[in-house]
Amino acid sequence: MTHATLPDDRPTPRVLTSGASVNDGSVSLGAGVNTRRNESTLFRFATAGSVDDGKSTLVGRLLHDSKAILADQLESVARTSAERGFGGEPGAIDFALLTDGLRAEREQGITIDVAYRYFSTGRRSFILADCPGHVQYTRNMVTGAATADAVVVLVDARKGVLEQTRRHLAVVQLLRVPHVVVAVNKIDLLGYDEAAFAAVATDVSALVRDLGLPEAHVIPVSALAGDNVVERSANTPWYEGPALLELLETLPPLDELESDLEALRMPVQLVIRPQGALAHDVADPVSYRDHRAFAGRITSGTVRVGDEVQVFPGGATTTVVGIDAGPVALEAASAPQSVALRLADELDAARGAVIAASGSLPAARSELDAAVFQLDPRPLVPGARVLVKSGTSTVQALVTAVHGRRDLATLALEPADRLDVNDIGQVALRLAAELPVEPYAEHRRAGAFLVIHPQDGATLAAAIVSGPTSTTASTATTTEGAAA
Amino acid sequence: MRVAPVSEITTTTSTVAEARPRLSALDTLESEAIHIIREVVAEFERPVLLFSGGKDSVVVLHLAAKAFWPARVPFPVLHVDTGHNFPEVIDFRDRTVERFGIRLEVASVQDYLDDGRVQERADGTRNPLQTQPLLDAIAAGRHDAVFGGARRDEDKARAKERILSLRDEFGQWDPRNQRPELWDLYNGRHTVGQHVRAFPISNWTELDVWRYIEREGIELPPLYYAHEREVYRRDGMWRAVSPVSPPRADEHVERRTVRYRTVGDMSCTGAVESDAASVAEVVREVATSTLTERGATRADDRISEAAMEDRKKDGYF
C-alpha cells in the first residue's frame, strides 16, 4: 500500500449546521432525572480545544446545567473564584475550577491531564473525557478519543480554525471516532452574528473534506452564557440545529454502530477451572468438578448457545454449549458483555486465544504496518525492540522501518527516520509470535495495540493496524514458518 | 466478515438509537469492571483487594465473584484497620470473608501507634495514618496488584486517576507522569518494588453503585440504612458518639435518625439525617441529593482544595 494518503472508502463529507432532526425536543433536566438512570445507556465523549477556547468553561457549563455539580462542589468553586477575583460580578463562577483537579493545573490555570466526568440525563449516562489542549499534551487527546463515541472540538468564533483544530480533527480521523462535533464558542462576543458563524462553518467543512472525515456537526455556542449548550438559544434564531447536549443524547454510540454488524470475536482473558476451589454459592459442587470455561469480553458480534466457533490459534472448530454471566446462564450475548463460554470440545486454549464465529477466523500475522501515535519522549527508531500488547496477548516485536511522519495539517506522509513525542507516523513491525490482528478500519478492537518499553514498561506509543489484511498475513506465515 | 453499509455508519437520527436493544449503562459498567478484574488476575502474580466493608469495596468483591464463578474469588482481601472502626462494619467484614471463603489480611494502625512507628494526630483523625501500614502490608504480602473501590466521581484528583495506576517503591502516585490508557488495553508492566493499583469501578458514580446494590441484592453493613443513633453536630456533620469520637463539653448530644453515605474511620466520618431504611429508598435519596458523598460525610477532605491529591501522592488509596 502507499502511505501518501490514508486508505479511505468513506462517503463524501457532510457538514451539518442546521436542520438535522436529531431530537424530539423533549430534553428536560433537573432534580430527579437520575432516577431513571438504570434504563439509560452509556455514551462516551471527549472534549478538545486549544488553550483559551473555553473548553473547561464548556465542560463546567454542561455539568452545571445538567445538575451534575452539587452544592458543596459549587460552593467550593465559588469560594475559590471569589478569592482569585474571577469575573467582575459578585457570584461569578470560574467553571474551569470544576475540572482542573490537580494543584499544578489550578496554579498554572491550564489543564494537564485527561479528567473524567460523569453526568446523566433521562436518556443517557455520559462519560466525558476532558482532554487538555496544549500541543505538548496531544497524547491526552489520543487517550480521550480512543474510546470515544464522539469528540467535541472547540473553536473560538473570533479565531476560527487553528493549527490545533487541524491536529485534533486529524487524530479524530485516524482513530475513526464515529461522530465529530465542532462547537464554535464565544459567539456572544461576536454579537451572535450569523455571518461570522457561517464563515467558521465553511472553514470547518473544507477541513473535514481535506481530512476525509465523514461529517461534522457544527454548533454556535457560548459556554459562558450557556447558549446552545443544554438548550437551544433565542440569541441564535438563525441556527436551526440541536443544542450540544441534545445532539449528544441522540448520536448512536460506537457499540451500536459496530458490534452487531461484525462477526463474533472474544479474546480469551483466562480459563476458569475451579477444580477444588468452588464459590460458596455453588449449589451442586459435583457437577462442576470438570468445569472449564473461557472468560473474556466480547469485542464484536453476538454468540448464541449452539453456535459453531473457531479458536485462534490452530483454527479448531467447536460448538458453544454454554454462556455464563456469573451464575446466570445466558442463551446469547453480544459485545461488549463479559462472559465465560463453555465449549463442546476440550481445546488447549489459554490467555491470548481468540474465539471467533466459524469461518471468520482472523489471519495470523507477524508483519504489521501501523499508524503510530508516539507518546513517550524517547523517539521511536528503526531497530527498536519493543513489546506489543494487543487484545490479551503481549509479544516481543522489532520496529523494522519508520515509513514517515504525518503532516497533521494535510495528513500527508512526510519522510522521517524516527518518530518524536506527539508525532503521528507510519511504521512497520515484526512480531516474535503471530497474532490475530486485523486492520483497525475493519475491526477496531482487533486493530488497536500498545507499544511498550521492554525494560521499564512505559507505554511508548498507541498504534492501529493499517489495512489491507490478507496478503501480508499469508507471506508472514510461510516465511516465518511459525506454527500457530 | 460483514462490514456495515456506509449509510448505517453515518446515520445520526434518533430512530437508529432506539431501534436496537442495547446494554444498559449499568450492564456496560459491570462488563467493563469484570474485564478489568480478569485482566489483573491474568497478568499479575499476587493481587489483593482493599476491603473496608464499605459499599464500594463490597461491590468490587461481588464483581470479582461474578468474574470467576463458579470458581472462588482467586485473591485475598486486605483491611487497613484504623482501630476506629464501626463495630457493625468489622462484624460485616468478618462474616463476608467467611462466607466467600477467602483470606483476610489486616494491617493494623493501632500496632503502629503502639510501637511508635506512627504518631496520633492532634485532631485525632487516623485516616492519614493508614498509608504506612498499607504500604508495609502490600510489601509483606508481596502484592503486585492492589484492587480498590475508588471512583473518579469522588474527587477532582481521583478524576485524573488511571484504571491501572503505577506506584513506585514508596507507593507514591505521580499525577504528572501517568501512563496514557487507551482502548481497553491496560499496561500493568512494572519493575521490582513497584506495584499497580487497579480500580475496576473507576467509571461508576455513587448512584450507579447503589443501583447495582439494589439490582444484585448485595448485603451491606446496616449503618448504610437509616437507624437511630446518639449524635452531635460538628463541622456541619452528624458525628456518632463513641469512645473514639466523644463530644466536647459544648456539643449537644441527641438521638437522630441517620445513615452513613460512606463508611470510614469513626473519627472523621459523619452521618446524614435520613429516613432511607431500604436500598430502594437510598437509591431515591442519592438520586436527588444536592451534596456529594465526600462533601457530606468526610471531614478529612475539607482540609484543603488538594487534600485528596496530597494523600494520594503519598501512597494513600
The enclosing domain of A70 has a CATH number of 3.40.50.300
Q: Chain A residues with CB inside 8 Å of B179's CB?
A: 458-459
With cut-offs at 50, 70 and 90, classify the pLDDT of residue A398. very high
Among A98, A250, A295, the residue with its CB nearest the CB of B38 is A295
Mean pLDDT of A234-244: 95
Q: Which of B61, B185, B262 is best to mutate for the A interface (most A CBs within 10 A)?
A: B185
What whole-number percentage of chain A has pLDDT above 90? 52
pLDDT at B182 over 50: yes
pLDDT at A22 over 60: no
Print the domain residue range for A290: 260-357
- Structural domain includes residue A484: no
Which of A314, A337, A357 is where one domain is finished? A357
- What pLDDT shows up at residue B112? 87
Q: Is the four-CA dihedral B221, B223, B227, B228 of positive or negative sign?
A: positive
Burial environment of residue A48 by CB neighbours within 10 A (0 to 12, 13 to 18, 19 or more): buried
- What pLDDT shows up at residue A333? 94
A160/A163 Cα distance (integer angstroms): 10
Q: Out of A346-350, B204-208, B280-284, which region has the weakest mean confidence (pLDDT)?
A: A346-350
A248/A314 Cα distance (integer angstroms): 43
Beta bridge partner(s), residue B271: B238
The mean pLDDT of chain A is 82
In the stretch 353-412 of chain A, residues with CB closer than 8 A to chain B read 360, 375, 387, 389-390, 392
Report chain A's C-alpha Rg in angstroms.
Answer: 24
CATH number of the domain bearing residue A284:
2.40.30.10
- What pLDDT shows up at residue A206? 92
For residue A132, the distance in angstroms to the closest alpha carbon of chain B comes to 12
Is residue A248 domain-shared with residue A303, that is, in the same domain?
no
With cut-offs at 50, 70 and 90, classify the pLDDT of residue B231. very high
A301/B56 Cα distance (integer angstroms): 31
Is residue A43 domain-shared with residue A127, that is, in the same domain?
yes
- Which comes out higher in pLDDT, residue A331 or B237? A331
- Which comes out higher in pLDDT, residue A476 or B159? B159
Residue owning grid cell 483476610:
B104
- Structural domain includes residue A303: yes
Is residue A174 domain-shared with residue A48, that is, in the same domain?
yes
Is residue A96 domain-shared with residue A202, that is, in the same domain?
yes
What cell numbers appear for B95 in the block? Answer: 462474616
Helix A163-174 and helix A194-211, axial crossing angle in degrees, nearest 10: 50
Q: Chain B residues with CB inside 8 Å of A280's CB?
A: 72, 99-101
- What pLDDT shows up at residue B84? 85
- Structural domain includes residue A4: no
Is residue A45 domain-shared with residue A167, that is, in the same domain?
yes
- Structural domain includes residue A483: no
Among A336, A340, A375, the residue with its CB nearest the CB of B28 is A336
B189–A387 CB contact, under 8 Å: yes
B150/A420 Cα distance (integer angstroms): 35
Mean pLDDT of A8-28: 38
Mean pLDDT of A51-72: 76
What letters, b where the CB count within 10 A reaches 16 and e where it falls short, cover B231-246? bbeeeebbbbeeeebe
Is residue A307 domain-shared with residue A444, that is, in the same domain?
no
- What pLDDT shows up at residue B287? 85
A220/A243 Cα distance (integer angstroms): 9
- What pLDDT shows up at residue A24? 33
CB B21 within 8 A of CB B110: no
- Which comes out higher in pLDDT, residue B243 or A343? A343
- What pLDDT shows up at residue B122? 78
The mean pLDDT of chain B is 84
Largest CA distance in chain A: 76
Is residue A86 domain-shared with residue A187, that is, in the same domain?
yes
Mean pLDDT of A235-259: 89
pLDDT at A13 over 50: no
- What pLDDT shows up at residue B171? 77
Is residue A215 domain-shared with residue A147, that is, in the same domain?
yes
Which of A252, A275, A291 is where one domain is finished? A252
B179/B162 Cα distance (integer angstroms): 8
- What pLDDT shows up at residue A6? 35
- What pLDDT shows up at residue A12? 41
Among A101, A127, A261, the residue with its CB nearest the CB of B4 is A261
Q: Chain B residues with CB inside 8 Å of A361's CB?
A: none
Is residue A196 domain-shared with residue A226, that is, in the same domain?
yes
- Structural domain includes residue A205: yes
pLDDT at A10 over 90: no
The verdict on A203 touching B (C-beta cutoff 8 Å) is no
Q: Which of A61-70, A102-111, A114-123, B64-73 has the highest mean pLDDT?
A: B64-73
A273–B12 CB contact, under 8 Å: no
The residue ranges of DSSP E strands in chain B, in sequence order, are: 47-50, 77-81, 104-108, 145-147, 164-167, 195-198, 227-234, 237-240, 254-259, 272-273
With cut-offs at 50, 70 and 90, classify the pLDDT of residue B294. low
- What pLDDT shows up at residue A1? 35
- Classified as helix, coil or strand, A177 is coil
- What pLDDT shows up at residue B155? 77
What cell numbers appear for A398 in the block? Answer: 522489532
CB B117 within 8 A of CB B91: no
- What pLDDT shows up at residue A14? 46
- Structural domain includes residue A156: yes
Closest CA to A225 of A441, A31, A61, A394: A61
CB A117 within 8 A of CB A132: no
A35–B287 CB contact, under 8 Å: yes
Residues 6+ apart with CB under 8 A from A29: A65, A66, A67, A121, A230
- Which comes out higher in pLDDT, residue A337 or A137? A337
pLDDT at B108 over 50: yes
CB B135 within 8 A of CB B169: no
With cut-offs at 50, 70 and 90, classify the pLDDT of residue A330. very high
- What pLDDT shows up at residue B303? 47
- The model's pLDDT over A168-210, given as tens digits with 9 standing for 90+, comes to 898 899 899 999 999 999 999 999 999 999 999 999 999 999 8
Q: Chain B residues with CB inside 8 Å of A140's CB?
A: 180
CB A147 within 8 A of CB A176: no
Is residue A186 domain-shared with residue A213, that is, in the same domain?
yes
Q: Which of B22, B182, B219, B304 is best to mutate for the A interface (most A CBs within 10 A)?
A: B182
Give the phi and the psi of residue B166 in degrees, each rounded to 5. Answer: -75, 135
- Which comes out higher in pLDDT, residue A107 or B49? B49
With cut-offs at 50, 70 and 90, classify the pLDDT of residue A409. confident
- Which comes out higher in pLDDT, residue A17 or A446? A446
The verdict on A103 touching B (C-beta cutoff 8 Å) is yes
With cut-offs at 50, 70 and 90, classify the pLDDT of residue B289. confident
Among A31, A73, A334, the residue with its CB nearest the CB of B292 is A73
- What pLDDT shows up at residue B148? 95
Largest CA distance in chain B: 75
Q: Out of A266-280, A419-433, B63-77, B111-125, which region has the weakest mean confidence (pLDDT)?
A: B111-125
Give the phi and the psi of residue B252 in degrees, each rounded to 5. Answer: -85, 125
- What pLDDT shows up at residue A17? 47
pLDDT at B15 over 80: no
pLDDT at B1 over 90: no
A279–B68 CB contact, under 8 Å: yes
- What pLDDT shows up at residue A426? 96
Number of separate domains in chain A: 3
pLDDT at A412 over 80: yes
Question: A-B interface: how many C-beta pairs under 8 angstroms?
Answer: 275
User: Domain spans of chain B?
Assistant: 25-207+308-313, 221-302
Is residue A272 domain-shared with residue A178, that is, in the same domain?
no
pLDDT at A411 over 90: no
Q: Chain B residues with CB inside 8 Å of A296's CB?
A: 38
In the stretch 431-450 of chain A, residues with CB closer than 8 A to chain B read 442-443, 445, 448-450
With cut-offs at 50, 70 and 90, classify the pLDDT of residue A51. low
The verdict on A279 touching B (C-beta cutoff 8 Å) is yes
How far does Cα A391 stand from its chain's mean position? 15
The verdict on A82 touching B (C-beta cutoff 8 Å) is no
Q: Chain B residues with CB inside 8 Å of A20's CB?
A: 12
With cut-offs at 50, 70 and 90, classify the pLDDT of residue A440. very high
- What pLDDT shows up at residue A69? 65
Residue owning grid cell 516481543:
A396
Mean pLDDT of B122-132: 80
Is residue A208 domain-shared with residue A305, that is, in the same domain?
no
The verdict on B155 touching A (C-beta cutoff 8 Å) is yes
pLDDT at B288 over 50: yes
The verdict on B24 touching A (C-beta cutoff 8 Å) is yes
How far does Cα A314 stand from its chain's mean position? 31
CATH fold for the domain made of B25-207+308-313: Rossmann fold (3.40.50)
A81/B22 Cα distance (integer angstroms): 42
- The model's pLDDT over B79-101, given as tens digits with 9 standing for 90+, comes to 999 888 888 999 999 999 999 99
With cut-offs at 50, 70 and 90, classify the pLDDT of residue B150. very high
B291–A118 CB contact, under 8 Å: no
Q: Decide the pairing of beta strands B237-240 and A385-390.
A: unpaired
- Structural domain includes residue A297: yes
- What pLDDT shows up at residue A29? 31
Q: Which of B72, B100, B189 is best to mutate for the A interface (most A CBs within 10 A)?
A: B189
pLDDT at A56 over 80: no
B182–A452 CB contact, under 8 Å: no
Q: Decide the pairing of beta strands A41-49 and A124-130.
A: parallel
